Homo-oligomer: A and B are copies of this chain.
């Protein structure tokens, strides 16, 4: 078995740097678009055979060092009591705007209520036959709260911040419910066979350090800590978080995602040897020429030389217009590199 990912995340020695790519199963792949031409996004997420198929596509094509369950961070929102549509961005029905709204939020039993997630994980583990590890994931509680409160994409995040500044108790009550749900949701992913997991804190970067600590870090840490004894590496990825490293350093993850804004050597200097680091090529580089991809990937590898553990990834999800041959060059560059 190729367990490079698991070893790198645990800061154990590896022969070479493992690579996976956020949103590696996605629209940039013609074979993914082929599947999507027949079913909508929600159906794809909810049909284990199809989710398994698209999860496997980039593994087959590129020989990446890990598979990540094809799903969406908003999947747990439905059993928590919300209607949700994608057109194409997510739109949540009756978003949370008050303490009374928080009251009606359910803490579900994900294993019973989201059986398709766990069925896809079991199917994937059989399909992967132990060749590469399978990563599970969820949104961090704060990021899920942003979607539940804003209801849809936001430019200024005025509704979540309005709640944060004017009704902090209501937001804390919501974050409590989301945290409990997330612990169950990921815990059952591990039961079903996920061999590592990542907590995505996509919207952490909109907060100042003090509010980040109170409303985001605290709940991400609660989830990470609750799952510490499950024996799988835990990755925490806060996008656009260069102003938050001192706070993030206190979280209990095994590995931290880093976006392209902070050099991996610099992040290592701030964060110390306690964490493996994952990242951090700018996804826009993959829209350039293959030679540029190779040059920029080598720069990332060079700056990662002295890390206690490094998993190569992008600094954010791969972009739909990415040419598949650029991903080929990226994977060859990283997998051919000996540090």
Contacts and interface: CB of A to CB of B under 8 A. Distances in A.
A62 interface: no
Interface stretch (A79-87, A137-145, A258-266): A258-266
How many chain copies?
Answer: 2
Given A242-B243, A283-B156, A162 B288 contact: yes
Interface size class of A (residues with CB under 8 A): 20 to 34
A321 B284 contact: no
A262 B243 contact: yes
Interface string A277-290: 00000111101110
A207 to B, nearest CB: 8
A237 B156 CA distance: 18
Contacts of A308: none
A11 B165 CA distance: 32
Given A161-B287, A284-B158, A319-B156, A208 B261 contact: yes
Closest 5 CB pairs of A and B: A242-B243, A161-B284, A165-B288, A243-B261, A166-B288
Given A161-B282, A242-B243, A243-B243, 11 more contacts: A156-B283, A158-B284, A161-B284, A161-B285, A161-B287, A166-B288, A166-B289, A205-B240, A205-B261, A207-B261, A208-B261
25 contacts: A156-B283, A156-B284, A156-B319, A158-B284, A158-B287, A161-B284, A162-B284, A162-B287, A165-B284, A165-B285, A165-B288, A165-B296, A166-B288, A205-B240, A205-B261, A208-B260, A208-B261, A208-B282, A209-B261, A209-B263, A210-B263, A242-B242, A242-B243, A243-B261, A243-B262
